Structure 1
Amino acid sequence: MAVHIRLARAGTKKRPFYRVVVADQRCPRGGRFLEKIGTFDPAKKFEDKPLHIDAERLAYWKSVGATPSATLAQIVKRVAKLEAAAPK
């Protein structure tokens, strides 16, 4: 079973909201998933932290071979870059 970490669309029409889920590659985008590990709200600005992920579960799933989707990888990289540049 090929496992991917990806975004599953939720929300209403013209107001998308995404769940970060671990799912079998063959399941549809909004279909069955193994575990929900976070959320992403594209309506929020990146400075307001629109991405919430359980880092421990993300690390676990990556360690057992799950691969993040290209879109999710870009979002995670962008948020990490902003957090590193933010003054403390």
Structure 2
Amino acid sequence: MVVKIRLARFGRRKAPFYNIVVAQARTARNSKPLEVLGTYDPIPKKPEDGEGRPFKDIRLDSVRARYWLGVGAQPSDPAWRLLSMVGLMEPKFRGNQTAKPAAAEAGKAE
């Protein structure tokens, strides 16, 4: 069975709140997970001192997340992004794939 690290949505309408969970790939989004690794609040919060940029709250048990990644759990794309923000995974590169062949063709035409 495939195990995934993914987000389970909670909260209310227009105020989402997510649990970062480990669950079987074929179960429903909000079904009972194998383990809850942490939480993610996507609504930006102002710093308590009043200065600086607003931040999104990510709380994650990195030891357990490393364990699940080590035994083969596959993160979903949003979970991958959060794990890369925390420093557990390399960020996925989003390069412009169409620009490179166009530049190569321009070089061949000359």
| TM-score, normalised with respect to structure 1 | 0.81
SS at match of 2:36: strand
Structure 1 Cα separation of the partners of residues 19 and 83 of structure 2: 14
> How far did residue 76 of structure 1 move?
2.7
Question: Could you tell me which of 43, 61, 65 is aligned with 1:58?
Answer: 65
Residue equivalent to 2:4: 4
Quote the offset at 1:13 in angstroms: 1.1
Which amino acid in 2 is paired with 1:37?
L
> After TM superposition, which residue ranges in structure 1, 4 or more long, deviate above 3 angstroms?
45-49
What's the CA shift for 1:47?
Answer: 5.5
Secondary structure of the 1:62 match is helix
Aligned length: 80
User: Alignment RMSD, CA only?
Assistant: 1.8
Task: Identify, as 1 or 2, the structure richer in helix.
Answer: 1
Larger radius of gyration: 2
Relative to the length of structure 2, the TM-score reads: 0.66
Secondary structure (helix, strand or coil) at the match of 1:44 reads strand
Please list every run of 5 or more consecutive structure 1 residues that lacks an aligned counterpart in the other structure. 81-88
Q: Residue type matched to 1:15 in 2? A: A
CA distance in 2, matches of 1:59, 1:76: 10
1:37 aligned to 2:44? no
Percent identical among aligned pairs is: 44
Tell me the residue number matched to 1:72: 79
